[in-house]
């Protein structure tokens, strides 16, 4: 039966009148359509009518922050992405309607007529919807994968995928870079929370379920149709197995043994029909995956039988030996089909065009890659009468974005992911109880959402207002307490009057993403929660610790201090799911999908050896299971490696701060135009307000290192004159970066050799005019040493 595509609704011609929504003729396509109806719109036929430069453009994926619809019309890019910090029209907090508006503009630009009968190939837009369509304000933010793995519920994951796909389609986007099917084997890795488990079998099951939720099942009605988007299995392969958990690092060992763990989830994802696979940043035995032909082509396509599209990661091709972001034929020859090149797209397009013309890249290889892009678009119905995003069945259906139905699924996922590690008879909470809820994370939706939430790193200047419709953990507890006939009081610092029956302390990791989250060990250092737990214990008040984290961490001190301990992971927008378990409205069915470490040093734990709690551990809610006191010895807590230069209101033991010749102990005091005073960020005077008089300089000296600088800072008023930073002999003007940071809350500055030349043992800030900045942390980071500078 002949098929017509209309807004992702497939209508059989013989039965059009019988299908709801099919009684109207498809919207006429403009003269810019791929081809008249009588022409062959198969990928092969379209390829034969394409010019060389437009073929090349199908393989170039720029970021929306660096291209306009005018650029798309001129260059005819085949694919577009938005990075984690890229929003429509330069606004990473743009309203949902702007995402759809820009999607229409890109569509219309890419389908504008071309001369000489050449087909105008619509561009497709891809996004990182890694835990819901969380870049978009108002979307449902599901728990991160580390939590979903703890549910063990593949049907739930399938439903989450389906809900996410609908919300993506509402904003006019066709493709998501999810699921991550990494098998994280070293929890120091900053992307551990993107992994379902250390167990390849569990990752395989959950990853395949997410693919089916996002795309539908191959061969079944609706596959990649209305309410479905193209999925991406990532990152092939080894991203979760790098040495010491270093993001984008090296994975070493026998290839068969490595594949048995880290490539194990791919057959299931391929079997589920995943449309694309993303190449990994990491190396395998020294060879970067973006240029690794034996693995991208020989293993992925040859042995695993993948026939879809292979897309690169953010400038990953530029890390291949002999390549730059704008010039890398090696990646295409190795098996990459689409280059993710956020900013250097013009140079890359020119170099690829030249390399095809001079024979460096065979025409057959170019055509093979272009065909894979066209076939992906064919699967999405792009060539069968598809219309612009806003005219599709779900385009602009804002009631589906963050809908009550989707939030209910997310709340269910939160509840099913809670893992009860300790319970000395405190849980479930008794009806009618008087409850005090403490901790800065209790009423903090950005913190419970984690990274990849509205912005790439999450947190920072985000507030509850950036998550409309979301529920904090505190709000969920308050509602549940009231429903049970009791009451709850919010006391972030544990200072409420009265004596509650029980105290719930919510604390944990601050949001992060990718390399920013890499750690040297697994010690949880922030003592806010520990201090609160000990204070309640001293008052004789039973406590429940609710720990937010993107991975298992060494928390022996907190486990000892609490009467009950819940690993709540990163629950996302529906914090009420935590209360569902605490109050017994849902059972505690969550089980660890990662081994929990007994020691803090960071030695990988993937099995019972070295585990405090093994894979699969989790208590039932009614269990009375106190723990014997645990060893609280952790050398990493007291060791001063020189990496921390300023934190918690103190300079590192080997660090000095001076204003010209005036010494500033613990970065406090004044002299020679510098005034440094204490301000509160998380605790009393744990940060500094540093005021520069015109011409003043502040210098910090410490251990010599080639590591990058990571500085957590806040600017309330932009500088009125030039501000520079210097390490070694090169001064860098950072005025623009500081100006952009104005009024955006706490941010992170990363200074590396890429902009400083050298990093060394000294860092000097200078301002030519009066200027004030707040600083809460200064650290050296070896992991980020090869990264670009950022503000």
How do residues 611-665 score in pLDDT, each as one tens digit? 999 999 999 998 899 999 999 999 988 776 678 899 878 888 789 999 988 889 8
3-class SS of residue 389: helix
What pLDDT does 15 receive? 29
φ, ψ (nearest 5 deg) of residue 737: -60, -40
Give per-residue pLDDT as tens, 690-704.
999 999 999 999 998
Average of pLDDT values for 8-35?
34
Of 231, 198, 578, nearest to 413 by C-alpha is 578
Strands 283-284 and 287-288: antiparallel
Peptide linkage before 532 cis (omega within 30 of 0) = no
472 CB-side CA count, 13 A: 21
What pLDDT does 499 receive? 92
Quick one: tokens of 591? Answer: 């089980």
Strands 419-423 and 434-438: unpaired
Quick one: tokens of 464? Answer: 């509850």
Beta pairing partners, 647:
650
Q: How many angstroms separate the CA atoms of 133 and 317, rounded?
A: 26
Burial of 324 (0-12, 13-18, 19+ CB in 10 A): middle
Quick one: tokens of 735? Answer: 């005025």
What pLDDT does 34 receive? 58
Q: How many CB atoms are located within 10 Å of the residue 354 CB?
A: 14
Of 190, 143, 165, 156, nearest to 567 by C-alpha is 143
Residue 635 carries which DSSP code?
H
Residues tagged active-site? 313, 514
Q: Where are the alpha helices (DSSP H) in 280-403?
A: 293, 329-334, 345-357, 363-379
Q: How many angstroms separate the CA atoms of 283 and 288, rounded?
A: 4
Average of pLDDT values for 744-761?
89
| 36 contacts: CB under 8 Å, gap ≥ 6 | none
Least confident among 269-283, 300-314, 507-521: 507-521
CB 533 within 8 A of CB 526: no
**479-to-81, 281, 489, 753 alpha-carbon distances in Å:** 40, 44, 11, 51
Residue 718 predicted with pLDDT over 50? yes
Describe the strand order of the beta sheet including 656-659 as a list of residue ranges: 662-663, 656-659, 697-701, 762-767, 723-727, 730-733
Residue 9 predicted with pLDDT over 60? no
**306-to-22, 43, 269, 310 alpha-carbon distances in Å:** 35, 18, 10, 9
Least confident among 135-149, 236-250, 523-537, 744-758: 744-758
What pLDDT does 14 receive? 30
């Amino acid at each position: 039966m002949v098929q017509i595509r209309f807004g992702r609704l497939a209508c059989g011609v013989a039965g059009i009148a019988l299908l709801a929504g099919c009684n109207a003729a498809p919207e006429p396509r403009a003269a810019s359509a791929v081809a008249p109806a009588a022409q062959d719109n198969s990928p092969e036929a379209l390829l034969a009518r394409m010019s060389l430069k437009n073929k090349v453009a199908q393989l170039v994926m720029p970021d929306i922050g660096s291209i306009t619809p005018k650029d798309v019309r001129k260059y005819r890019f085949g694919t577009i992405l938005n990075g984690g910090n890229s929003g429509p029209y330069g606004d990473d907090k743009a309203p949902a309607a702007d995402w759809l508006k820009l999607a229409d503009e890109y569509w219309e630009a890419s389908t504008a007529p071309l001369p000489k009968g050449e087909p105008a190939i619509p561009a497709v837009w891809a996004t990182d919807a890694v835990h819901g369509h969380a870049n978009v304000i108002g979307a449902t933010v599901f728990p991160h994968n580390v939590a979903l793995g703890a549910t063990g519920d593949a049907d739930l994951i399938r439903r989450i995928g389906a809900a996410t796909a609908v919300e993506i389609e509402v904003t006019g986007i066709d493709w998501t870079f999810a699921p991550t099917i990494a098998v994280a084997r070293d929890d120091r890795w900053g992307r551990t929370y993107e992994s379902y488990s250390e167990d390849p079998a569990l990752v395989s099951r959950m990853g395949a379920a997410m693919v089916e939720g996002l795309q539908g099942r191959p061969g079944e009605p609706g596959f990649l149709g209305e309410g479905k988007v193209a999925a991406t299995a990532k990152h092939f392969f080894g991203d979760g197995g790098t040495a010491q958990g270093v993001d984008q690092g090296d994975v070493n060992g026998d290839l068969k043994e490595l594949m048995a763990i880290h490539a194990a989830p791919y057959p299931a994802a391929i079997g589920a029909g995943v449309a694309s696979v993303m190449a990994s940043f990491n190396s395998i035995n020294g060879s970067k995956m973006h240029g690794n032909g034996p693995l991208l082509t020989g293993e992925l396509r040859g042995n695993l039988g993948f026939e879809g599209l292979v897309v690169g990661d953010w400038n990953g091709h530029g890390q291949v030996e002999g390549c730059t972001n704008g010039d890398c034929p090696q990646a295409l020859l190795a098996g990459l089909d689409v280059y993710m090149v956020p900013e250097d797209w013009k140079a890359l397009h020119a170099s690829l065009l030249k390399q095809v013309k001079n024979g460096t890249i065979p025409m057959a290889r170019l055509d093979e890659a272009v065909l894979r892009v066209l076939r992906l678009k064919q699967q999405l119905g792009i060539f069968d009468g598809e219309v612009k995003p806003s005219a599709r069945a779900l385009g602009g259906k804002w009631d589906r974005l963050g809908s009550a139905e989707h939030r209910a699924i997310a709340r269910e996922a939160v509840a099913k992911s809670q893992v009860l590690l300790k319970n000395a008879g405190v849980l479930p909470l008794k009806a009618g109880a008087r409850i005090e809820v403490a901790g800065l994370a209790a009423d903090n939706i950005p913190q419970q959402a984690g990274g990849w939430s509205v912005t790439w790193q999450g947190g920072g200047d985000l507030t509850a207002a950036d998550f409309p419709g979301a529920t904090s953990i505190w709000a969920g507890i308050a509602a549940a307490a009231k429903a049970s006939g009791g009451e709850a009081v919010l006391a972030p610092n544990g200072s409420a009057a009265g004596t509650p029956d029980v105290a719930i302390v919510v604390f944990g990791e601050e949001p992060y993403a990718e390399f920013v989250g890499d750690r040297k060990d697994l010690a949880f250092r922030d003592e806010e929660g520990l201090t609160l737990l000990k204070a309640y214990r001293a008052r004789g008040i039973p406590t429940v610790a609710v720990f937010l984290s993107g991975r298992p961490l060494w928390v022996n001190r907190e486990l000892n201090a609490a009467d009950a301990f819940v690993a709540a992971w990163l629950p996302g927008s529906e914090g009420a799911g935590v209360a569902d378990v605490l109050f017994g409205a849902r059972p505690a069915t969550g089980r660890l999908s990662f081994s929990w470490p007994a020691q803090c040093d960071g030695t990988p734990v993937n099995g019972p050896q070295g585990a405090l709690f093994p894979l699969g551990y989790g208590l039932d809610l009614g269990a009375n299971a106190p723990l014997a006191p645990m060893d609280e010895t952790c050398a990493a807590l007291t060791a001063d490696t020189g990496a921390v230069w300023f934190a918690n209101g103190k300079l590192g033991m080997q660090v000095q701060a001076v204003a010209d010749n005036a010494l500033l102990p613990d970065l406090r005091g004044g002299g020679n135009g510098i005034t440094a005073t204490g301000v509160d960020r998380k605790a009393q005077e744990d940060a500094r307000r540093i005021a520069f008089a015109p011409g003043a300089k502040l210098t910090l000296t410490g251990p010599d290192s080639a590591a990058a600088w990571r500085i957590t800072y806040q600017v309330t008023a932009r500088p009125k004159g030039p501000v520079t930073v210097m390490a070694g002999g090169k001064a860098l003007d950072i005025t623009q970066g500081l100006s952009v940071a104005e009024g955006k809350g706490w941010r992170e500055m990363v200074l590396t050799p890429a902009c400083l030349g050298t990093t060394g043992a000294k860092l000097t800030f200078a301002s030519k005019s009066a200027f004030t900045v707040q600083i809460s942390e200064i650290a050296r980071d070896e992991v980020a040493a090869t990264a670009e500078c950022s503000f």
